[in-house]
Amino acid sequence: MRGLYIHIPFCKHICSYCDFPKRIAKNNEQIETYIDYLLKELDSYKNYFNDIKTVYIGGGTPNMLSDELLEKLLSYIANNISNPIEYTIECNPELLTEKQISLFLKYKINRVSLGVESFNNEDLKKLNRYHSKEDAIKAIYLLKEKGISNINIDLIFAHPFDNIEKVRENLEIFKSLDVKHLSYYSMILEDKTVFKHLYNQNKLTLIDEDISAQMYEEIIDTLISFGYHHYETSNFARYGFESQHNLLYWQEEEYIGVGAGAAGFINGTRYTNSPILNKYYKGCKEVEVLTIEDIKKEYMMLGFRKIDGISLSDYKARFNSEVFYDFSLNKLLTEDLIEISNGMLKLTTKGIMLANEVFMEFI
């Protein structure tokens, strides 16, 4: 077992683009009850705790928790899991306080991921974010000042109000902040979001695909020129600061997921907890036993998300088989979407831009 993901499904406000399992809490008792069930679920995985290398507390908004509940959760983890190499908590900049950071330090959290989304105040409002560019910058400085240097920020490009100049401005501000890691996601129009609702009523225009591709190309080139390692489709890091927890997903390693809506992958079985609180409390989950073919396909899809690609020798060691025996890759190779270089099978520059076409081959 390698990773532990803990989901906190509460937010103060709901952003217009987001379909993560989350809700606005009715009151603190509801969150208290949730934490009790979460700790019970964690107890049920105790046998696996010896082998946990990374812990990731995500959401929703984990720093929605009161200081008392945050401490209850963090002390449980500290008492049960020894020295994970990477221990991340996702935070909303609007809610980050000095007290929270002191708890992170007390319980040895060594990485913070901030949902910044944009440094443009007008766009933040339109995305229904309640913090400003200045709040986000303040949160980054506060984390650094208190001694947390391994920081990720999330940004979103190609949202309905974006343009290439705004992408450039975001990148320049990002550069000036000297942050170790950036997840720069292309906005996906998800079902059950305010944006999808507006789109269905013809009240929202999406960014043209060619412009979105131009933005993505500019993001990659600029961040590489700033000295960042483009190591996954949407992820960039200073060398040595690549997210160990996320790499574990992309290498199809095992992980436990706890909390409403969280997923895990253990012994070839994937499970997804119900996102509905009452059902989650009763232990409802979907369980899927993957066949070896399913696992191989997933390994390929996830592997292609890594810019370095798939190691042919790792594939052989893991599956006792050859990639070229298991998959017919000629079409992707002749269309110049994938290539082999130094024992790695990876997306070409064209393939990175058209990654979805490659993934479709493995669905």
Ligand X SMILES: C[S@@+](CC[C@H](N)C(=O)[O-])C[C@H]1O[C@@H](n2cnc3c(N)ncnc32)[C@H](O)[C@@H]1O
Residues found in the chain? 363
Report the partner that residue 156 touches, choosing among ligand SF4, ligand X, none (CB closer than 5 to 8 A by kind): ligand X
What's the order of all strands across the beta sheet hosting 285-289? Answer: 229-232, 235-237, 181-186, 151-157, 111-117, 86-91, 54-59, 3-8, 255-258, 263-266, 269-273, 285-289
The answer to whether residue 20 forms part of the interface with ligand X (CB under 6 A) is yes
Where along the sequence are the contacts to ligand SF4 (CB under 6 A)?
11, 14-15, 18, 20, 22, 59-61, 92, 115
164-177 helix and 133-145 helix, angle to the nearest 10 degrees: 20
Angle at 197 between CA 274 and CA 354, to 5 degrees: 80
Nearer to ligand SF4, 60 or 309 (CB): 60
Q: Using CB under 6 A, pick the residue from 3, 9, 21, 59 that binds ligand X.
A: 59
Which one of residues 1, 4, 18, 77 is an interface residue with ligand X (CB under 6 A)? 18
CA distance 20 to 283: 20
Q: Compare residues 178 and 190 and give the one whose CB is closer to ligand X.
A: 190
Pick from ligand SF4, ligand X, none: which does 190 bind, CB < 5 to 8 A by kind?
ligand X
Q: How far is the CB of 335 from ligand X (least distance, A)?
A: 27
Q: What is the nearest approach in angstroms of ligand SF4 to the Cβ of residue 140? A: 17
| Binding partner selected for residue 14 from ligand SF4, ligand X, none, CB under the kind-specific 5 to 8 Å limit | ligand SF4
Instruction: Kindly state the smallest distance separating residue 169's Cβ from ligand X, in Å.
Output: 17
Residues linked to residue 266 through DSSP beta bridges, in sequence order: 269
Residue closer to ligand X, measured from CB, 206 or 289:
206
User: What, of ligand SF4, ligand X, none, does residue 131 touch, CB below 5 to 8 Å by kind?
Assistant: none
Maximal CA-CA distance, the chain = 59
The interface partner of residue 84, options being ligand X, ligand SF4, none and the CB cut-off 5 to 8 Å by kind, is none
Q: Which does 346 bind (CB under 5 to 8 A by kind): ligand X, ligand SF4, none?
A: none
Residue 97 sits in the site that holds ligand X (CB under 6 A):
no
Smaller CB separation from ligand X, 18 or 171: 18
Phi, psi of 253 (to 5 degrees): -85, 170
CB of 324 to ligand SF4, least distance (A): 41
Between residue 161 and residue 220, which ones bind ligand X under the rule CB under 6 A? 185, 187-188, 190
Rounded-to-integer distance, Cα 117 and Cα 186, Å? 11
Among residues 94 and 242, whose Cβ is nearest to ligand SF4? Answer: 94
Measured from the CB of residue 21, what is the shortest distance to ligand SF4 in angstroms? 9
Supply 332's token pair. Answer: 């992707």
Residue 17 in the binding site for ligand X (CB under 6 A): yes
Cα-Cα end-to-end distance for the chain: 26
Neighbouring C-alpha atoms within 13 Å toward the C-beta of 323: 22
Which residue among 9, 21, 84, 115 contacts ligand X (CB under 6 A)?
A: 115
Applying CB under 6 A, among 41, 86, 117, 232 the residue interacting with ligand X is 117
Helices marked H in the chain — which ranges?
28-43, 67-80, 98-106, 121-126, 133-145, 164-177, 194-200, 209-225, 244-250, 277-281, 292-305, 312-319, 323-326, 330-334, 349-353, 355-360
Interaction between residue 90 and ligand X (CB under 6 A): yes
CA dihedral for 289, 293, 299, 301, sign (positive or negative)? negative
In the block, tokens 């937010």 appear at 11
Burial (CB count within 10 angstroms: exposed 0-12, middle 13-18, buried 19+), residue 272: middle
Residue 222 contacts which entry, ligand SF4, ligand X, none (Cβ below 5-8 A, type-dependent) = none
**Nearest distance in Å: CB 184, ligand SF4:** 15
Closest Cα partner for 56 from 20, 6, 101? 6
Contacts of 1 (CB under 8 A, 6+ apart): 48, 51, 52, 254, 255, 256, 266
Choose the contact partner of 154 out of ligand X, ligand SF4, none; CB within 5 to 8 A by kind: ligand X
Residues forming contacts to ligand X in the complex (CB under 6 A) are 17-18, 20, 58-61, 90, 92, 115, 117, 154, 156, 185, 187-188, 190
